[in-house]
Chains A and B, each alone.
Chain A
Amino acid sequence: MSYKDFLNPWIILPTFLFALFVVPVIWIIFSLFGNYSDNWVHIYNYTLSGYIYNTVLIIIGTSIGTLIIGVGSAWLVTTYNFTGKKFLEWALLLPFAVPPYILAYTFTGLFDSYGTANNLVRDLFSLPNEFIFFPKLRNVYGASIVFSFTLYPYVYLVSRMAFINQSRSMLEVGRTLGYNKFQIFYKLSIPAIRPAIIAGLMLVLMEAISDFGAVEHFAVNTFTTGIFSAWFGLYDFHTAKQLAALLLIVVISFLILEKYSRRKSRYSSGSNVFSPIAAEKLNGFQNIFASLFCFIPVFVGFVLPNIQLGYWALNYKLDFFNEKFISTAWNTFYLAITAALICAMLAVIINFSIRYKKNKVLNVMSSFLTVGYAVPGLILALGVSQLLVFMDNLIFRDYLNFILTGSIYGLILAFIIKSFALANSTIESGFLRINHKIDDVARSLNTPGWKLLFRIHLPLLTTSFLTSMILVVSEVIKELPASLILRPFNFDTLAVSTYIYAAEERMFDAAAPSIAIVAVGLLPIFVLSRLIVKSRPGYRNNDNHYQSY
């Protein structure tokens, strides 16, 4: 590539973005090579082992929970027909709409000693007030349960897609080799999709160890709560960064494992003939078991928290559409829409640059841009804060200090880094559906790049553009730690106000913003359900019509 190529706007913009996305993360990592303060020594001697212990317990508990729920339900809905299957196969995605911190808040309301569930049991069986039926959930085990029921859809989704793409013939041949149905499940079906399951599990674990809201509410000390305390308790930004760097190393190892597993999961039998699995009808006890197995995660992860939220909203705070709620909702939506619009536009420009310039360096840079989704919000907040302070010092030092720091721009930047991958994957697949011959013909008509993008590609990408915006909006609305740290003074989002109310144990006030978050979170589920249907072998994609031109 010559220096002239670097001056091309289709190269400059992605390169600038790459720098903007990567610098905050690199800053965090490099903090490990700096000085270690007394606070760090204290944390290292007294609390770090606790963070590691709790994190390991969360990893083990969440892995067991999500694997049983996610893989089990995916196998049942793919292989069998049972009562309620049609509803449950997409309803199993519903807990995606409930962020772990909201499930944690509602679990507290339900299962605390004098929570709704324990009160109900005492009332039903006329038991004394001291009687506690449901054990305490405000501990590391409760956190693992919360993560299992909110994050299992990642495993469910990838397992289901992998099971759908598994050949019926392969399983039938296995049976002729002497294995019964259950043996086929654990000796053939599961091992064959193991890379896909691991990829899903890594996403779950990245989310679980990055969580701040749920563990903080359950008073479980992990890396994220440690980072928060170091920064806002000890006012030691550097130690917070060093802790964040350690967490980032764990997250990056999960990310590498996820990418590696995903690549391995693409192997095929090499055959061009495919017979999909024919679902078998279940009767009697097996039918009831399958229905219950798939219904319980939906009930615990979605129905139950919504019942509790509805109960709070209706019984304690009927006037939840107050001025405060409306201003918070407005803040959240315009932030989310702005971030989504920028993400989608950047994804279009970057994918177009790659397609138009056919540049390998851009391709590599693009894959780096998408790893932002794996960086925990709290770490991003640290990195972005440092970047903003640096830029303020660099640009505005002679005028007014802190123009960017503490402004809404930092928050939007963090959201863009965090959500770019969501927009990019949708836009990328949209571009793949546009036949390259269209570009060739346009070029033969002497069409410049911008005209090709705006007049030809963009109209064909309308659906992908809107889908990517929906995905980003729902992600931004749920995001808590980055919003909490980077928001301008006196600027609340729905997630932040939910957190503040819950921290003050004003659960009934937390209900309205929580319901709004869950409602918006439902949008991408419809998109995901559609993607699953599209992924079925033999599905005829009507959106693909321009491919045949």
Chain B
Amino acid sequence: MQDNILEIKNLKHSYDASKEVLKGINLDVARGEVISILGPSGCGKTTLLRLIAGLEKQTFGSININNNVVSDNKNFISTEKRDIGLVVQERALFPHLSIIKNVEFGLKGSKNDKYKTAIDLLKLFKVDKYAENYPHEISSGEQQRVAMARAMAPNPKILLMDEPFGALDHALKSELRDEAKKIFKDNGTTAIIVSHDFEDAIAMSDHVLIIDEGSVTQKGPAKDIAVIPRKNSFKIA
């Protein structure tokens, strides 16, 4: 039996009674797997990510993380207790903290331990030379590297990434994507990436899930989806 870190069963969600944003999503993610959720704007992919993070509560269904129910009709474990990391398109670095303090923010332990973990991660993402700088003093690509380092610092069970490369130019995006993929694989990081970019999804992930209008229209290994995208399942951006 495969060791799943995340299990989602029949997940439904609506913001108002008239429109269901998610219509019964099922998803299993294996430990160390990188999966992309692909779909056009407004299809419900970001909502799915927010439900996994505990930033919203679903109207129906259940979410298990690491074999624990984190959300169903009886239980709800808040975001801060789910042991997840989050990277968003706008990076959301804390503007009043230096780069090193941003990465240390989620760490527990002694000052030295926190510094060592943070600087190691900054080295991994090649931004250690900016450790004492502030977010507005570095480029958008470097900010995104810091955002990933910060999210990985507490060693979360799952790393959630919402359009992580959306605001970057093509060359930078390609470079960062390859580096991130290598780091995830080397560290055995489980990651769920939400994107509307077909190329990002295929390049980064082991498996791809395509959502349209709140339902899964296709899922499978990235290499298969790349070769045979199902007709009408998703228009490539």
Contacts and interface: CB of A to CB of B under 8 A. Distances in A.
Interface of A: 167, 169-170, 172-180, 188, 191-192, 194-195, 267-275
A170 B91 CA distance: 8
Contacts of A188: 94
B194 interface: no
B96 A267 contact: yes
Which 4 pairs of residues, A with B, have the shortest CB-CB distance? A177-B106, A273-B90, A169-B92, A271-B90
A178 B106 contact: yes
21 contacts: A167-B90, A170-B95, A172-B92, A173-B86, A173-B87, A173-B88, A173-B92, A175-B79, A175-B80, A176-B86, A176-B156, A177-B85, A177-B150, A178-B154, A188-B94, A194-B96, A269-B92, A270-B138, A271-B90, A271-B167, A272-B90
Contacts of B210: none
Contacts of B85: 176-177
A170 B84 contact: no
B89 interface: yes
Interface residues of B, number: 39
B55 A269 contact: no
Contacts of A268: 95, 136
B150 A271 contact: no
A197 to B, nearest CB: 12
B78 A180 contact: yes
Contact of A177 (B91, B96, B136, B154): B154
A320 to B, nearest CB: 52
B86 A192 contact: no
Given A173-B150, A178-B106, 11 more contacts: A173-B92, A174-B94, A174-B105, A176-B86, A177-B105, A177-B151, A191-B97, A267-B95, A267-B136, A270-B136, A271-B90
A271 B147 CA distance: 12
A174 B106 CA distance: 8
A178 to B, nearest CB: 5
Given A176-B151, A177-B150, A269-B135, A191 B84 contact: no
B65 to A, nearest CB: 12
A269 B80 contact: no
Nearest to A273: B90
A102 B143 CA distance: 51
A426 B154 CA distance: 48
B212 to A, nearest CB: 23
Nearest to A274: B90
B53 interface: yes
A178 B54 CA distance: 12
B92 A167 contact: yes
Given A174-B105, A192-B94, A273-B167, A180 B88 contact: no
Interface of B: 53, 55, 78-82, 84-97, 105-106, 108, 134-136, 138, 140, 143, 147, 150-151, 153-154, 156, 160, 166-167
Contacts of A177: 80, 85, 105-106, 150-151, 153-154
Given A178-B80, A188-B94, A270-B135, A169 B88 contact: yes
Given A192-B95, A269-B90, A273-B90, A172 B55 contact: yes
Contacts of A179: 80
Contacts of B94: 170, 174, 188, 192
B154 A271 contact: no
A195 B95 CA distance: 12
A170 B135 CA distance: 13
Contact of A176 (B84, B95, B135): B84
A267 B89 CA distance: 19
Greatest chain A CB density within 10 A among B81, B94, B138, B160 is at B94
Contacts of B106: 176-178
A194 B160 CA distance: 30
Greatest chain A CB density within 10 A among B93, B134, B153 is at B93
A177 B108 CA distance: 10
A169 B150 contact: no
A272 B106 CA distance: 25
Contacts of B81: 178
A445 to B, nearest CB: 41
A175 to B, nearest CB: 4
A172 B154 CA distance: 16
Contacts of A176: 53, 79-80, 82, 84-86, 106, 151, 156, 160
A188 B92 CA distance: 12
Greatest chain B CB density within 10 A among A167, A194, A272, A274 is at A167
B136 A269 contact: yes
A195 to B, nearest CB: 8
Given A167-B90, A177-B154, A274-B90, A267 B143 contact: no
A188 B140 CA distance: 22
A8 B108 CA distance: 65
Greatest chain A CB density within 10 A among B91, B153, B154 is at B91
A178 B79 CA distance: 8
B140 A271 contact: yes
B76 to A, nearest CB: 14
Nearest to B167: A273
B154 A275 contact: no
Contact of B90 (A178, A180, A194, A275): A275
A379 to B, nearest CB: 35
Contacts of B166: 273
A269 B91 contact: yes
Contacts of A178: 80-81, 106, 108, 154
A525 B30 CA distance: 58
Contact of A170 (B92, B134, B156): B92
A180 B91 CA distance: 20
A192 B88 CA distance: 19
A191 to B, nearest CB: 6
A449 to B, nearest CB: 38
Greatest chain A CB density within 10 A among B82, B87, B136 is at B136
B79 A172 contact: yes
Given A167-B90, A175-B79, A274-B90, A269 B95 contact: yes
B80 A173 contact: no
Contacts of B135: 269-270
Greatest chain B CB density within 10 A among A175, A176, A273 is at A176
A221 to B, nearest CB: 40
Nearest to A177: B106
Given A188-B94, A192-B95, A272 B80 contact: no
A267 B98 CA distance: 12
A176 B79 CA distance: 6
B92 to A, nearest CB: 4
A194 B82 CA distance: 29
